Amino acid sequence: MDDPLAPFRWHPEPELIGIRDAATSRDALRLAGAATWEASLDWLYDEAMVRAMGLPTDYQARRRLYFGETGGPGRAPQDPVTLQTVLDEFRDKIAPHTLNSYHPRALSYFTPPPLVASIVGEVLSQWTNQGIDVWHAGPVGAFVEEEVIRWLCDLVGYGKGSFGLLTSGGVMANFIAMALVRDVHLRRLAGLARPPRGAALEGVRVYTGDQTHFSIARALDELGFPPETLVVLPTDDGFRLHAAPVAAAIAADRARGLRPVAITAVAGSTNTGSVDLVPELAALAKREGLWFHVDAAYGGAARLSARDAARVPGLELADSVTVDPHKWFFQAYDLGGLVVRDGDHLRQTFDRSPEYYRGGEGSAEGGAPGADHDEATHDSHAGQLNFYKLGFEGTRRFRALKLWASWKHLGTSGLGRLVEMNDDVAAYLAMRCAESTDFEADPAVPELSVVCFRHLPDNAAAMSPVELDAYQDRLCAALEQDGDGWLSTTTLHGRAYLRAGVVNYLTTEADIDRLLAKLRSLAAAL
């Protein structure tokens, strides 16, 4: 009998390479999976639940610890080793030094602890290795993404004809939205026969508030618009953009012969969690004939909660909406998304067909938004859904499975409960700041689950604004070094603040009390 492992005997574990025969590999794979899961649990309970941030916290020190005295990457490994050797190196070299989002007082960037179902979905997606670009490369995977996109469209409030796609994150989703502004809406306004390029992008204006994510400006720049295209307008004391200043800017620009084309709003800003006045901005965009995009990468998840959905109103009024499940849907990286009220705009912008996809192409794109699923055709592939025609990416990983698994496992109501818990914890933190004499929050009442606050030491009145800013940075660094919590910092009205982005479903009110007590003790040492 032929040895199925013969071609792989050069490896110390040939049964983990030549896996086609269950008799020789299944037990070994089961043990490999158990060892991997055990290493994950060791990290979770021995590292992640112990410290919010691994040691050392200094960049250069951690770099030297990882790379060694050379301070940089060495040569690729030449010879094979056992999987256990790799797992041991993970335990020793990587596990103690990570940002630990599962720690209940890790409240830093929008990095949630992924749900177990999300991790399970990610494992299964890597095993099945579906390419969600051309339908042939991931046939059922395309259906899973189509289904998840439908759920997101329903969550936003879009009806028939809407569609979207999953992306690497909010940056790419916002980039695609701005491409639609250029190639669909500006083309229509300018009456052009083809998408505008070069000089046709001059004199265009896009309006937004001062809390908008940097990716909007980056997208416009990379799409060829001049720097002055983006008009950034001031927000109110709650960091929310109103329609009035936008309307005034539009009128002034029209009087100068410029071409307003779009308004972009934010529903859950990264800095403060603020929500622009979306309904009145939508009404303004409709009156002025402008594209209206809402970046709800973080805040869109509030729609999962029947109780808190009203905190992000009017998303259904937008032409396009960014929603980022790897933020407040508690998903493992990476998983962003864009949904569009008229899904066919995606196909109009990105539909290109390379030669090597011809075997997976049909004569009708019935699976794509706007196409007819019942169209008769001689082509057995007609009517298929090819996601590469709806966005920038060619090869696309099977991102949808982990969200599909999580949504199935918890349901909308369960996901909404976790969102509500975070909102309640954030409200508690803001309340504790308001009750104290040495902490202050801005704004005093959070709109969602972000709280920006700072500590006021006994001598705060004698400190200059610059000194007080530097003090917040030192306090944040001390907390990171201590490991009992993790916060980020941000700038509001030119001043430094500690920032708690509460997207951790393991955080309780008791954790907030402990965090504030820890900050006070660290402040005394400072």
Could you tell me the pLDDT band of residue 109, with boundaries at 50, 70 and 90? confident
> What are the strands, taking DSSP E only, across 290-432?
291-295, 320-322, 336-340
Pairing of strands 439-441, 450-455: antiparallel
- Dihedral in degrees, nearest 10, Cα atoms 321, 327, 328, 332: 120
**Interval 201-216: pLDDT, tens:** 999 999 999 999 999 9
**Interval 3-20: pLDDT, tens:** 999 999 999 999 999 999
The encoded tokens of residue 409 equal: 């496992």
| Rounded-to-integer distance, Cα 273 and Cα 271, Å | 6
| Rounded-to-integer distance, Cα 304 and Cα 152, Å | 10
Q: Is the pLDDT score of 47 beyond 90?
A: yes
Q: What is the mean pLDDT of residues 283-310?
A: 98
Could you tell me the pLDDT band of residue 2, with boundaries at 50, 70 and 90? confident
Q: Is the pLDDT score of 355 beyond 50?
A: yes
Backbone angles phi, psi at 291, to 5 degrees: -70, 140
| Rounded-to-integer distance, Cα 101 and Cα 44, Å | 10
**Interval 123-160: pLDDT, tens:** 999 999 999 999 989 999 999 999 999 999 999 999 99
pLDDT score recorded for residue 352: 78
Could you tell me the pLDDT band of residue 361, with boundaries at 50, 70 and 90? low
- With both helix axes pointing from N to C terminus, report the angle between 214-222 and 170-180 in degrees, rounded to the nearest 10: 50
Residues 302, 327: contact at Cβ < 8 Å? no
In the chain, residues under CATH classification 3.40.640.10 are 170-296
Could you tell me the pLDDT band of residue 373, with boundaries at 50, 70 and 90? very low
∠481-484-485 over CA atoms, to 5°? Answer: 90
Q: What is the mean pLDDT of the chain?
A: 94
**Interval 152-199: pLDDT, tens:** 999 999 999 999 999 999 999 999 999 999 999 999 999 999 999 999
Over pLDDT 90: what percentage of the chain?
Answer: 92
**Interval 452-510: pLDDT, tens:** 999 999 999 999 999 999 999 999 999 999 999 999 999 999 999 999 999 999 999 99
Q: Looking at the domain 170-296, which fold is it?
A: Aspartate Aminotransferase; domain 2 (3.40.640)
Q: Is the pLDDT score of 379 beyond 90?
A: no
Pairing of strands 163-167, 204-209: unpaired
- Edge-to-edge strand list for the sheet holding 259-266: 163-167, 336-340, 320-322, 291-295, 259-266, 204-209, 230-233
Number of Cβ atoms within 10 Å of the Cβ of 524: 9
